Amino acid sequence: MKMKEYFNDLINHAIDIKASDIYIFPAGDNFNIKMHTNVRILEHSVIDSSFSKTLLNYCKYISNMAISENRRPQIGSFVYKLDSQKYYLRFSSVSNFSNKESMVIRIIYSIEDSDLSYADYNNLISLKKRFYKGGMILFAGPTGSGKTTSAYKLAKSISPKKIIMTIEDPVEIIEDEFLQLQVNDSANMGYDELIKVGLRHRPDIFIIGEIRDTRTANAAIRAALSGHLVISTIHANNKNGVINRLKQLNVDSSDINHAINTVVYQKLVNDKDGNMTAYMDINEE
């Protein structure tokens, strides 16, 4: 089988099972290929070192990475087409202690491709009403629980009437109706800088990928206090921990009280049929 055909089969299968990531990792003398879905990590196949090197070189070639470089970390991207639908692939490579190279391929879907279901759709209706209030809506919850998907779904439901800008690191969902910016640290365009640039475009809604540090937290709060609706995610173990996390990031308590609109803790749970569904615990401030 030609490498292009193998690669296409690999990506097609990942898309078919809605995998978010494909892992190509060294394991002894061979390489394991695994796929990450919202539910679990699935074993796909085991390939030998010679075949894996050809596969990695092909991935580097199509994503404009340096084929001869296998020591330093690299990133690349590629637009993959399947049945007239575009999927954006992000490649990341790095070598381990014994100079064996590994790669992760992230598949970025459009919001229409999301099959995330909700335990109680009344929560979505309630949140949509909160969108018109302004301020900041924060999502917390485990990795892979669909926080960004929920933010996009809600924003898209009112997008014909609003200008929506996203700032992410990296972009996780493709949405043509939004103006999507991506953090580029090498060009000194972090969250803080992009929020400042974004304010000049006067969007109605900011979607900020994740609040990770003090600068991003304070920039997001300032945007919310200036009259914009800001939607973001933050690491916290429950909805009550969100405010504490902002305080840990040195955000002024008064600014928090004036800026926060709603806090949502979202996680995936099994429904009565055993399927994964999103459960929201909402705290309206």
Q: For residues 243 and 259, is the Cβ–Cβ distance under 8 A?
A: no
* pLDDT at position 7 over 70: yes
* pLDDT at position 285 over 70: no
3-state secondary structure of 56: helix
3-state secondary structure of 108: strand
pLDDT in tens, 124-175: 888 888 888 889 999 998 877 888 888 888 888 877 778 999 998 878 888 8
Q: For residues 56 and 40, is the Cβ–Cβ distance under 8 A?
A: no
* Domain-terminating residue out of 80, 109, 138: 109
Overall pTM > 0.85: no
pLDDT in tens, 39-59: 789 999 999 999 999 999 999
Residue 260, strand partner residues? 136
Query: The CATH number of the domain where 171 resides is what?
Result: 3.40.50.300
At 258 the pLDDT is 94
pLDDT in tens, 71-125: 889 988 899 999 888 898 999 999 988 889 999 999 988 777 777 788 888 888 8
CB atoms within 10 A of CB 17: 11
Same domain? For 122 and 263 the reply is yes
At 9 the pLDDT is 96
Torsion on CA atoms 31, 36, 42, 45, rounded to nearest 10: -30
What is the distance between the alpha carbons of residues 231 and 135, in angstroms, rounded to a whole number?
9
Same domain? For 95 and 121 the reply is no
Query: The CATH number of the domain where 38 resides is what?
Result: 3.30.450.90
For the record, the structure tokens of 171 come out as 């972009």
pLDDT in tens, 237-252: 888 899 999 999 999 9
Q: For residues 109 and 87, is the Cβ–Cβ distance under 8 A?
A: yes
pLDDT in tens, 213-270: 998 899 899 999 988 899 999 988 888 899 999 999 999 999 999 999 999 999 988 8
Same domain? For 46 and 142 the reply is no
Same domain? For 238 and 128 the reply is yes
Same domain? For 118 and 144 the reply is yes
3-state secondary structure of 101: strand
Same domain? For 278 and 191 the reply is yes
* Domain-terminating residue out of 86, 109, 132: 109
**Can you give the residue range of the structural domain that contains 179?**
114-284
What is the distance between the alpha carbons of residues 85 and 160, in angstroms, rounded to a whole number?
22
Same domain? For 94 and 213 the reply is no
At 1 the pLDDT is 65
At 145 the pLDDT is 84
Same domain? For 83 and 135 the reply is no
Same domain? For 85 and 151 the reply is no
* Domain-terminating residue out of 66, 88, 109: 109
Contacts with 39 (C-beta within 8 Å, 6 or more apart), sequence order:
268, 276
Q: How many domains does the chain have?
A: 2
* pLDDT at position 184 over 70: yes
Same domain? For 55 and 141 the reply is no
